[in-house]
Structure formats: structure tokens, C-alpha cells
Chain A
Amino acid sequence: MTQFQLDEKEMRQVYAETILDLAKKDPNVISLDADLMSSISMNKVSPQISDQVINCGIMEANMMGVAAGFSLTNKIPFVHTFAQFATRRAFDQLFVSLAYAKLNVKILGSDAGVTAEHNGGTHMAFEDLGLVRLIPNATVYEASDSTMLRKLLEQSYGEYGVHYIRTIRKKAVKLYDENETFPRGKGKLLREGKDVCIVASGIMVAEALQAANELEKKGIDAMVIDMYSIKPVDAELLTYAAEKTGLIITAENHNVIGGLGSAVAETLSEIKPVPVMRIGVREKFGQVGKVEYLKQFYGLTTNDIVNTALEKLGK
């Protein structure tokens, strides 16, 4: 990915700065963490907003209930923990105490998928998007760069309900300038094309763009969409892509069951059925390793996208 520039800022730094800004602006904003404040850089800003930051300790289930209690008093809690703790561990709390109770809370699940790296299988969430997608009326985003993360946080602050935002913690590839907007239920058409459409989210957006470049060299014109809004998903843009290209490839740092690939396939099967090939994790648990190794192991590389496109197009 040599032609892509990394962001100046780490995603965690952007989270902490955005929470700081929101908290300074609005005394109702409360930041909750479960002994992972230093992991998401909240420790760097918390002295400035100490009345609005609570480190709940290592108790994710209770933290979701505490967030519910704050929401009952019209506060706006931002809850952070690693993606698997926010979803796998505290799923019933997220479901009952927050979503079913129709409360207002913003959840950041960090260290998405293979980017958990050295923490390995216990800490590697390939299921979080699927779990939250199952919850009625929950909004599910995956942030692909720092501009997007900041805007999704600001936007979620302004919209009532349960919002789950998935992110990596370190630097992402820079994709967007400060003027971009990321409306709920929309995707970003990053590149037009007519032969195949690659629909990606998170770290796979850069791989998708790279794959489109590779395919171009082989005479294949690939469309690329950043589908940051996993739920609701952008059915209109997907229909456009399906009609124009007739072939969709999804690419996600997540299980192919339940996440972006499922969302796209489910949507298109009802309105514009075309082949949907899903790049993602299949029937595997996480493991320790460097991101590049893990991407290879789970089939999440540019080449995996390119080969799938070539195979399906018979080239």
C-alpha cells in the first residue's frame, strides 16, 4: 500500500480529543471506560474533564448498566472498551439495559478484528458487528479513518439511541479531508467503475482501493464503496453498484457471517440479486500475530480481493 498515506493521528488520539471537545461543550457528556483509558488515550485528556470521566474498572456488564443509569438522567454516555468486551461479553446488558430500554448511549469498540494483534484470539472480535446488527434500532458504524471517526462520534452525540462505532486504535490510511460528511445509512462511493464493485469497511477500504488499482492494470474497471454505515446499510448505493457492475465483492476485517458481507448480501438479495462474494474471516478464531501476517492468514489482502474478482469475471 505504498501509494497510501497514513493518517497523522492515531484513532485513539482522535477519540480522546473528540470526547474532550464534546465534554467541554456539553456538561451532559460522560465518558465511561473499563480500565482501558490509557489504551484509548483518554488518560491524556481526562484531567481537563475529570468530572465527566469515570473509569468503571474491569466490569463491562456493570458499565453498560451505569451508562443506562446516566442516560435515564438525560446524560449522554460514551462508553469505550475493546470490541469483544463491548459486544460478546456485555451483549445482554447492551441489548436489555440499553437498546430494549430505548436509552441513549454511544459505544466505541476498539481493536477491531486482526488489529488486536498481540492480544490474540481472546481479544480478537470478528463478531461484534454481527452482534450489534442483531439489536433492533441499533446503529452500527465502522470507521475507516480519523476524519470519519471524529464525525461519526459527533454525529452520534447529536442523535438519540444506541450507536456502536467500531475502530482500530492506531493510524489508519488517510482517506478523507475535513469537509467530508458521513450521514447515517449512507456509503461513500470512492471510485466509479463498471466491471465489479468492491464494498469495504474499516481497514479493508484501503485494500479495496489498492485492489482496484491492480485490477485496472489488468483492464478491469472496479468501483469502490466505503460502507461505513453497516446498519442501516445504504441500499440505494448498493442497488446502483449492482445494476452498474453486476458483481459485488465485500471486504471486511470481520466474520463473513453477520457483518458487512451479510448486510450487503441480505439487502441485495431482496432488491437486486447479483453475485455477492464475501472476503472476510471464515470459521476461524483469532490468534496472535502482526497485522500483515494475520491479514494473509485470514485472507484479508489486496490479492484476495483481486483474485476473487478475476475468478468471477473469468479472467
Chain B
Amino acid sequence: MMNDLELFRDEIRLWTLKQLNHLGFGHYGGSLSIVETLAVLYGKEMNVTTENFKEIDRDHFILSKGHAGPALYATLALKGFFPMDTLFTLNQNGTTLPSHPDRNLTPGVEMTTGSLGQGISVAVGLATSLKLSGSTHYTYTIVGDGELNEGQCWEAAQFAAHHRLNRLVVFVDENKKQLDGWTKDIIEPFDLAEKFRSFGFWSTKVDGANMEAIHQAITEGKEQTEKPICIVLDTTKGQGIPYLEEKEANHHIRPSEEEVDIIRQAIEQLEKKVSGSKKEAGR
């Protein structure tokens, strides 16, 4: 199972990079930091498929940190929601893949997000509605650590705890940077897992590059029945691509010619890895 998931993760990372590389600029940092989490959600945890997407009583995912759209698009394309080639239309005139997700444009996108702080409220509303209707399905959302600057996130957290939304899973992508730099220099986040715990969540912190740890945290969270679940992901902006991880300003990147070469090499390596894994799996 983990082998399949590793392949899926590598493919999401590969197609996220290919997409952004084709465009020539974009939100590399925060897209790459959620790749493992998306792989666990769409590859293992959630029962979302192209067939059941129109149904309401299923698991749902809202990308509150909307600027990571490219990673979600890569995931959805790999899941068959639209052709892989569509990824190369990212941000082009008339595209169905805008930099921030739009539920009316892209098959598989649950909610329009990108104005930070809003997606988590929508996830909370969705989870409340599912709970009231007796559904046993889960609502997942990913918020950024920078996004948590927005007060609305904490409104949503209070609401979720009050309504005992035990089937709401809030992932915090703690990649420790926001657009202008390190979160600790801009708005010190302190201990986010502790903060959510004090807001009434069941909360834990895991290595956001470790899919087994992410999956384990989800499983543990689901064991309790009274509280919403918060999983703080200890991640790195540009995760999985050493050059991008080390680059200081890596929120939105317009790579230089040299950097394009470096990213191209990373893409080639990933491509080899992916085709090797596929051969090994007999595909």
C-alpha cells in the first residue's frame, strides 16, 4: 500500500512541478509542502472519486490555502477528474485551472478558495451540515500557518469545537514561511497544536513529509468522538526538492534560467523514479 502511495506522491510532486515549470512562475513553495498530505487523502483516506463526486454524502476536501491550487490540480488530474494535458493550461487565458481554485471551473474542486481564512469556515459549515444530516463522512481542509494570521480561522475553530465536529479534520501546513518571510518574524504562531487544543480540538503534530505519520495521526484522531481534529504538519516550503527547500524566498517563484535548469533536473529525476516504480509494479 505504501509503495502505491509513494508512487502517487511522486506523481503529484512531478506534475505540480511540470505544471509550474510550463507556466514559468507560481506558488512552488506552498504547493510542494502539501504533496504528502494530498497523497494520503486522495490516495488512501478519502472515498472521493469521479463517480461519486456529485453525491453529497461522501468525504469532502477544501483547500483553504488556495494558492496551493497547482498541487490539488495535479492530484485531481491523476485521479482522473480531467486530462493530464489540462495541467499545462494553468493560469493561461480562459483556463479551467486558475491559480486559486474555483469550484465552478475545475472538475473535482469542492470550493472556491484563495481569499485566506474563508475555506476553513466553509469546511466547518459543510461538516456541520453533514453532521446534522447524520452522515458519517469526513470533511478535510488544509490551512496554511500564514493563513492562521486571519482571525476568521479562529472564528471557525471556535464554531467547530462548539458544535463537536468530530468528523472535521483541519490540517495546518506549518511550513514556517509566509509570503514576506518567516512566520516567526511576521506573526509568531507559537505552538499551533497547543493553540488548537486550547480551542477545543483533538490535536497533534506530525512530520508532514512522512505519509505513514500523517495517516497514523488521522487514524488516531478519528478514534475520539467529541472533538474536531487538528493535525499540524511540520513541513518545508518547496518540500521534496532540495534546491527549492533551501531557497529563502520560495513562496512565489519566477525561476531564473539557472534555476529552470535545476528544476528541470529535479523533474527528470522524478520522472525516472516514477517510471521505475511503475515498472516495478508491473504497470
Contact = CB atoms under 8 A, between A and B. Distances in A.
Interface of A: 30, 51, 54, 56-57, 59, 61-62, 64-70, 72-75, 92-93, 96-97, 100-102
B158 interface: yes
13 contacts: A54-B128, A61-B121, A62-B159, A66-B121, A66-B128, A70-B129, A72-B122, A72-B129, A93-B121, A96-B112, A97-B112, A97-B122, A101-B103
B65 to A, nearest CB: 14
Nearest to A30: B129
Interface residues of B, number: 33
Interface majority SS on A: helix, strand, loop or mixed?
Answer: helix
A123 to B, nearest CB: 20
B127 A69 contact: yes
Interface string B4-17: 00000000000000
A97 B118 contact: yes
Interface in B116-130: 117-130
A62 B152 contact: yes
Interface string B90-104: 000000000000111
B129 A59 contact: no
Contacts of B115: 92-93, 96-97
B126 A69 contact: yes
Contacts of A54: 128
B103 A65 contact: no
Given A51-B132, A73-B126, A73-B129, A62 B155 contact: yes
A74 B125 contact: no
Contacts of A100: 102, 112
Nearest to A56: B159
Nearest to A64: B121
A65 B56 contact: no
B198 interface: no
B60 to A, nearest CB: 8
A282 to B, nearest CB: 32
Given A57-B159, A62-B152, A97-B112, A73 B56 contact: yes
